[in-house]
């Protein structure tokens, strides 16, 4: 059984890929401050350097052989330019000076693969298999049925968060992991490519990653009426548990 283990206290996980040890993160959203300035007129100090150093430190701490970004490496839904391109250039250089980097194309990554073709290996939007029976996708579109051949499927895009209330009515929002047995038909949209009963008796685990970028917002998965972003959620995770970044298991995310 392939293993995908969260790094305690971080929105990142380590995956055993057989011959490689990979560090996985999702939704870096490099250039988010420039994007918010352009989209909403919001001025925030850039945390580009902090994001870059966090990734470098995590690579060193986990002794990773590769960094895999589960989509949305960039923030603006356009070819990268200006401050965003500068941040991407520095971030990719800082990572690839240490280890190779793989990008699973997300809905915010238009033009990134082309702009940095010499620096990244790229997996398309439908996702793909890594070594050691680990599958990856971003989550903004229907994944390929071949991902069901894996033991574990890792996805981003959703930015799962939980809203926690205390006894006196106060509340806070924290990033969270979602993990549970995957409903194969719901995950693929029950398309004709899925052979009947192909994985029904031994479905993979689905791990939905919290966003690496704490400024990118998210879905409050335990608040009734919240709409999910991924086309296969929440149906593909009928019995998922939520976990905080520190490893605290909250149980069924709908009852937190």
CB-CB neighbours of 210 under 10 Å = 29
CA–CA separation, 50 vs 223, rounded Å? Answer: 31
Q: How far is CA 203 from each of CA 46, 98, 146, 149, rounded to the nearest angstrom?
A: 42, 35, 12, 9
To the nearest 10 degrees (0 to 180), the angle between helices 82-96 and 32-40 is 170
| Right CATH for 4-255 from 3.60.21, 1.10.3470, 2.60.40, 2.40.30 | 3.60.21
Q: Is the peptide bond before 154 cis (omega within 30 degrees of 0)?
A: no
Question: Which residues, at least 6 apart from 249, have a Cβ–Cβ distance to it below 8 Å?
Answer: 241, 242, 243
Helices of type H across 19-158: 32-40, 48-62, 82-96, 112-115
Mean pLDDT of the region 67-85: 85
pLDDT digits (tens, 9 = 90+) for 177-230: 999 999 999 998 865 444 444 445 688 999 999 999 998 899 999 998 889 999
pLDDT digits (tens, 9 = 90+) for 77-108: 667 778 888 999 999 999 999 999 999 999 98
Residue 2: left (phi > 0), alpha (psi -120 to 50), or beta? beta
For residues 78 and 50, the answer to whether their CB atoms sit within 8 Å is no
Query: Residue 122: which of 69, 78, 59, 52 has the closest Cα?
Result: 69
């Amino acid at each position: 059984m392939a293993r995908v283990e969260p790094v305690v206290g971080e929105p990142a996980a380590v995956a055993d890929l057989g011959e490689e040890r990979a560090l996985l993160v999702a939704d870096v959203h490099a250039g988010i401050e420039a994007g918010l300035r352009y989209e909403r007129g919001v001025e925030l100090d850039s945390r580009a350097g902090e994001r870059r150093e966090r990734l470098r430190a995590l690579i060193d701490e986990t002794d990773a052989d590769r960094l895999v970004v589960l989509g949305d490496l960039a923030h603006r839904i356009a070819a990268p330019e200006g401050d965003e391109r500068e941040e991407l250039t520095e971030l990719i250089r800082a990572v690839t000076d240490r280890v190779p980097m793989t990008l699973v194309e997300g809905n915010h990554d238009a033009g990134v693969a082309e702009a940095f073709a010499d620096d990244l290996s790229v997996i398309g939007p439908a996702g793909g298999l890594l070594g050691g029976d680990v599958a990856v996708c971003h989550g903004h579109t229907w994944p390929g049925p071949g991902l069901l051949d894996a033991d574990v499927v890792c996805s981003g895009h959703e930015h799962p968060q939980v809203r926690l209330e205390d006894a006196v009515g106060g509340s806070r929002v924290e990033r969270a992991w979602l993990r549970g047995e995957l409903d194969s038909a719901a995950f693929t949209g029950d398309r004709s490519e899925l052979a009947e009963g192909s994985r029904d008796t031994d479905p993979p685990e689905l791990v939905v990653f919290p966003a690496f970028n704490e400024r990118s917002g998210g879905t409050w998965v335990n608040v009734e009426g919240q709409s999910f972003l991924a086309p296969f959620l929440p149906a593909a995770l009928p019995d998922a548990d939520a976990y905080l970044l520190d490893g605290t298991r909250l149980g069924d995310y709908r009852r937190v």
